[in-house]
Every structure is written in structure tokens, then in C-alpha cells.
Amino acid sequence: MTLSIPEAPATLKPVRDGRRVVNLWVIERCPYCGRRHTHRAGVAGVNDPRQALGHRVAHCVTKDGRLPDNPGYVLIEHLTPADRPAEARR
């Protein structure tokens, strides 16, 4: 049996965490629960946030506080049309 793991497009957001700024990958709509999830991507200006892309655990929680049984998702960088290279927009 082959397990299908969905992709989850995410946008990078810098967030102040005390004295430093950390990067978060934000998934606006989880492929499992439809909610917004975040994943840490290191300290801004220190860590390469793209190293945090790839397979991740889905942070879904059921109404009774349990994690549902799912295989997670593959975190990918969401690019808006303005972010894409000019040749990819043609």
C-alpha cells in the first residue's frame, strides 16, 4: 500500500519572539483539518528558513484534544504570481 502525503503551501512570516525575530512557515489551510498551522523556521538572518521545508507533522487536534491519525504533509514554499520568476509567469 502506498501512502499519499499531500503538499501544504506555506508562506514565510517573521515574528518577534522576545529580543529576536524568528521565521515561521504559515499554512493558511491545513489539508486535513482546514485550520491555520505554523512551523518554526529558525532565527531570522541566522538560519536558512528553506531548510525547514519538507515533511512535517500536521498540528491538527481533535475536539477532545487528541492528534488525529494522519501521515503529515510536505511543507512547500507558496509563491504568489509576483514572487515567481518572470519566465515562469509567461
Nearest to 7 by CA among 76, 88, 82: 76
Q: Return the domain boundaries, the chain.
A: 7-89
Task: Indicate the pTM of the whole model.
Answer: 0.77
Strand, helix or coil for residue 4: coil
- pLDDT, tens digit (0-9, with 9 covering 90-100), for 2-35: 678 999 999 999 999 888 999 999 999 999 888 8
